[in-house]
Chain A
Amino acid sequence: MYAVRLFEEATIALFHAGDLPAMVHLSIGQEAAAVGACMATTSDDYMTGNHRSHGHPIAKGARLDRLMAELLGKATGVCGGKGGSMHLADFSVGSLGESGIVGSAIPVATGAGFAAQVRGSDQVALCFFGDGAANEGVFHESANLAGTWKLPVVYFCENNGLAVSAKISDTAAVPDIAIRAAGYAMPGVVVDGQDVLGCYRATSAAAARARRGDGPSLIEAKTYRFHEHAYGLAVPVPYRDQTVVDSWFDTVDPITSFAGRLLAWRLADEADINAVRAGVEQVVEQAVQFAKDSPYPEPEAAYTDLYAAPEEVDA
Chain B
Amino acid sequence: MTATKPRQSATRAAQLGFLQAINQAQTEEMERDERVVLMGQDLRANVFGAADGVLAKFGAARVRDLPLSEAGSIGLAAGAAMAGLRPVVDLTVASFVFVAMDQFVSQLAKVRYMFGGQARVPVVVRAALYYQGGTAGHHADRPYPMFMNVPGLKVVVPSNAADLKGLLESAIRDDNAVLCFEDANLWGRKGRSPKPADDVEHLVPLGVAATPRTGTDVTVGGIGQGVYLAIQAAAELEKDGVSCEVIDPRTLVPMDWPTIEESVRRTGRCVAVDPANRTCSAASEISAHVVETCFDALRGPVVRVTTDDVHVPFSPALEKQIYPSKDKVTAAVRRTLA
Judge whether B321 and A299 touch: CB under 8 Å: yes
Judge whether A236 and B65 touch: CB under 8 Å: no
B315 within 8 A of A: yes
CA distance A66 to B226 in the complex (A): 36
Judge whether B317 and A73 touch: CB under 8 Å: yes
Judge whether B316 and A100 touch: CB under 8 Å: no
CA distance A101 to B135 in the complex (A): 12
Interface string of A48-73 (1 = CB under 8 A from B): 00000000000000000000001001
Judge whether B138 and A166 touch: CB under 8 Å: no
CA distance A164 to B46 in the complex (A): 11
A104 within 8 A of B: yes
B314 within 8 A of A: yes
Interface size on A, residues (CB 8 A): 42
A170: nearest chain-B partner, CB-CB? B65
Question: Which listed residue, A86, A102, A237, touches B136 by the CB 8 Å rule?
Answer: A86
> Given A86-B136, A236-B49, A239-B45 in contact, is the A73-B315 Cβ separation under 8 Å?
yes
Judge whether A164 and B138 touch: CB under 8 Å: no
CA distance A306 to B310 in the complex (A): 7
B308: nearest chain-A partner, CB-CB? A303
Judge whether B318 and A132 touch: CB under 8 Å: no
Judge whether A82 and B137 touch: CB under 8 Å: yes
Judge whether B317 and A81 touch: CB under 8 Å: yes
A82: nearest chain-B partner, CB-CB? B313
A302 within 8 A of B: yes
B140 to chain A, nearest CB (A): 10
B116 to chain A, nearest CB (A): 29
B95 within 8 A of A: yes
**Number of A-B contacts defined by CB within 8 Å:** 133
B47 within 8 A of A: yes
Question: Which listed residue, A79, A83, A299, touches B317 by the CB 8 Å rule?
Answer: A299
Judge whether A101 and B95 touch: CB under 8 Å: yes
Interface string of A299-311 (1 = CB under 8 A from B): 1011100100000
Q: Which residues of B contact A70 (CB under 8 A)?
A: 314
> Given A100-B139, A164-B42, A165-B47 in contact, is the A132-B317 Cβ separation under 8 Å?
no
B67 within 8 A of A: yes
Interface size on B, residues (CB 8 A): 39
CA distance A210 to B135 in the complex (A): 36
CA distance A171 to B309 in the complex (A): 37
Q: Which residues of B contact A150 (CB under 8 A)?
A: none
A74 within 8 A of B: yes
Chain A, 264-315, CB within 8 A of any chain B CB:
296-297, 299, 301-303, 306
> Given A136-B99, A163-B68, A235-B47 in contact, is the A302-B313 Cβ separation under 8 Å?
yes
Q: Which of A79, A84, A99 has the most CB of B within 10 A?
A: A84
Q: Which residues of A contact B41 (CB under 8 A)?
A: 163-164, 166
| Dominant secondary structure at the B interface | loop
CA distance A86 to B95 in the complex (A): 14
Q: Which residues of A contact B318 (CB under 8 A)?
A: 73, 81-82, 296-297, 299, 301-302
B255 to chain A, nearest CB (A): 30
Judge whether B322 and A302 touch: CB under 8 Å: yes
Judge whether A22 and B135 touch: CB under 8 Å: yes
A170 to chain B, nearest CB (A): 6
CA distance A104 to B98 in the complex (A): 11
Question: Which listed residue, B72, B98, B134, B308, touches A84 by the CB 8 Å rule?
Answer: B134
A161 within 8 A of B: no
Question: Which listed residue, A81, A102, A165, A302, touches B68 by the CB 8 Å rule?
Answer: A102
Judge whether B137 and A165 touch: CB under 8 Å: no
Interface string of A103-119 (1 = CB under 8 A from B): 11000000000000000
Question: Which listed residue, B99, B136, B310, B321, touches A83 by the CB 8 Å rule?
Answer: B136
Query: Please, could you name 26 A-B residue pairs with CB atoms under 8 Å apart, sorted by A?
Result: A70-B314, A73-B134, A73-B314, A77-B315, A82-B315, A84-B314, A99-B138, A100-B139, A101-B96, A103-B99, A104-B99, A104-B138, A135-B67, A135-B69, A136-B68, A136-B69, A137-B71, A164-B41, A164-B47, A165-B42, A165-B45, A166-B42, A166-B65, A237-B46, A296-B318, A302-B322
Known: A165-B47, A302-B319. 17 other contacts (CB 8 A): A21-B134, A21-B316, A22-B133, A22-B135, A82-B314, A83-B136, A84-B315, A86-B138, A86-B139, A100-B137, A100-B138, A132-B67, A237-B44, A296-B316, A296-B318, A299-B317, A303-B308
Binding site for B on A (CB under 8 A): 21-22, 70, 73-74, 77, 79, 81-84, 86-87, 99-104, 132-133, 135-137, 163-166, 170-172, 235-237, 239, 296-297, 299, 301-303, 306
